[in-house]
Amino acid sequence: QVQLVESGGGLVQAGGSLRLSCAASGSIFSINFMGWYRQAPGKQRELVALISSSGRTNYADSGKGRFTISRDNAKNTVSLQMNSLKPVDTAVYSCYAHHNGYDYWGLGTQVTVSS
């Protein structure tokens, strides 16, 4: 089983940056995929970015060129660097892991971008 705890959310002005971190219980080296999803009020949850155990990344079009996902297997963390933030990026961001056929989610961290 995998437990995920996010940190780093907050309030930022448009054009600013935030870095989200996700601490995973146990070793994440063997977790196939980790990533970030987000859900804005009144909208469905959507993918932000994924990273495989080999470091291969996949980004939603909305974040390409602005967001960077990374993982540190030694520290059991996955991070999301978000630059040039826009008000439309306002959402609850949740850490995600896919391991041994199961999906795991953190509780989420609020990101609010003011105009």
As a dihedral over the C-alpha atoms of residue 34, residue 40, residue 46, residue 48, rounded to 10 degrees, the angle is -50
Are the beta carbons of 55 and 73 closer than 8 angstroms?
A: no
Q: Give tens-digit pLDDT for 37-86.
A: 999 999 999 999 999 988 999 999 999 999 999 998 888 889 999 999 99
Contacts of 44 (CB under 8 A, 6+ apart): none
Tokens describing residue 19: 């870095």
Helices (H) and strands (E) in the chain, counts: 0, 11
The SS3 assignment for 109 reads strand
48 vs 62: CA distance, rounded Å: 8
Highest mean pLDDT among 6-10, 27-31, 72-76, 99-103: 6-10
Nearest to 78 by CA among 102, 101, 104: 104
The mean pLDDT of the chain is 93
